[in-house]
Amino acid sequence: MRSSLHDLLPPPTRRALSKLGQDVANARRRRHFTLAMMAERMGVAPNTYRRVEQGDPSVAVGAYAMALFVFGFGSALGDLIDARRDEVGQQLDEARLPKRVRVKKSPTSL
């Protein structure tokens, strides 16, 4: 059964999750792991792991993170929106920079 979250996601995001699930499935097959072996290594129920391979958006991000960890990609999740790669964020920061910088005058003591 599809979750209502699936219907709310923008199509590019749904496609990205679906691709992630397919990539997880392919990685599992390349390593000759069964569904049960993968679920056990991740510490989730086999049904939950099946939903990961389907790219189900209602599965907790921790399950996806654990799948990446099992395959040796544990650090990849932390690099997704690294500030150094956030071009839009960097442009917004630059737009907020002041045109001029003035030194504030301190009140004089008597």
Q: Do residues 76 and 66 touch, judged by C-beta distance below 8 A?
A: no
DSSP E strand boundaries for the chain:
none
What integer pLDDT is reported at residue 99 of this predicted model?
84
* Main-chain phi, psi angles of 81, to 5 degrees: -120, 45
* Residue ranges of domains in the chain, CATH in brackets: 4-95 (1.10.260)
Q: What is the pLDDT of residues 11-29, one digit of tens each?
A: 999 999 999 999 999 999 9
Walk along the chain (110 residues) in steps of 10 and give the mean pLDDT of each run.
73 95 97 97 98 96 96 88 86 88 77
What integer pLDDT is reported at residue 106 of this predicted model?
79
Closest among 38, 47, 43 to 1, alpha carbons compared: 47
Q: Do residues 20 and 55 touch, judged by C-beta distance below 8 A?
A: yes
Cβ count within 10 A of residue 2: 10
What integer pLDDT is reported at residue 109 of this predicted model?
58
